[in-house]
Structure 1
């Protein structure tokens, strides 16, 4: 029995007890995760989703978090004197497939709603209008725009997001040593960046002190304190 399932934006053909390397997951080592975006299932009979199979799921256990082998990217333009060499190590998670559930391969039939007998119209009574209640704002959990921190561009924000730092609060709690290690792992192009003031700026952003942050950025050069 095997299944084709989407995990962290990639599709894998998996079977029970198989070990797979996937893009870094947010859960801790030793925890169990469930993936319900099953595209194909073969348990003696092949079932194809449209696009996913309803009710089917793959359960796995996170064995460890690690970084992949270094990949060297070298670019050169002839007769232009242009040479660029970068290294990259992808953040990965090793998982082991625990079980494949195929309960959703057959969709349950929905019963047709029963028709009720028409009700007799009742005389309308004028009611006093009630003031409309104000709806509470719905909060949505999402990642913050780390580019508002002076010195962080789109690529560095993407690198931090892959490492699990995607909000101002997480960036504020990170140490300079931890941020430096993430940048060095992304290649020599980012190893020279100075993240010393980034947690301080992120703390002001997380607390909503935008005016104070703007004033601080105006008084410093490139987000680097003298």
Structure 2
């Protein structure tokens, strides 16, 4: 299995082609759902591995933005004894769901990519037929 280690949102993730990942929210201003991660720290497969110092120039990971959302509420409750002082606060962390499509090596060649399943191609054909009717 081919993999890549990318850095986004101050964290590092080990990703594979076709994987769906929950990362810190990405600011997406354009209408295109494609995202490129250029901070590739390492990539490889079962036999070989390429490790950067600190990152690999020219290597990138291409992904699609599935959706942006918020996690469940985390409650923060602070109470000071015998002072009649309490404070209740909540926080919902924002996240982005992304699907990894392709991993490119440092020379720009496709190192790994998603193979489309039969079910996905049938769904696309059905959508095209529905649009033409």
1:24 counterpart residue number: 25
2:9 counterpart residue number: 8
With a CA cutoff of 8 Å and minimum separation of 6, indicate the structure with the bigger relative contact order: 2
Higher fraction of strand: 2
Are residues 49 and 80 of structure 1, via their aligned partners in 2, closer, same or farther at CA, if it must alter by over 3 Å?
farther
Q: State the 1:30 CA deviation.
A: 5.4
SS in 2 for 1:85: strand
1:67 aligns with 2:84: no
SS in 1 for 2:57: coil
Q: What TM-score results when the alignment is normalised by the length of structure 1?
A: 0.42
Find the aligned partners of 2:106 and 2:71 in 1 and give their Cα distance. 35
2:122 counterpart residue number: none
1:40 counterpart residue number: 42
Q: Any stretches of 5+ residues in structure 2 without a counterpart?
A: 109-133
Q: Any stretches of 5+ residues in structure 1 without a counterpart?
A: 106-226
Higher fraction of helix: 1
Find the aligned partners of 1:74 and 1:49 in 2 and give their Cα distance. 43
Instruction: Choose 1 or 2 for highest CA Rg.
Output: 1
1:1-226 pair list within 5 angstroms: 1-27=2-28, 31-43=33-45, 44-104=47-107
Q: Residues 20 and 100 of structure 2 are in contact (CA less than 8 Å); yes or no, is this contact kept in structure 1?
A: yes
Q: CA RMSD in A?
A: 2.1
Give the paired residue count: 105
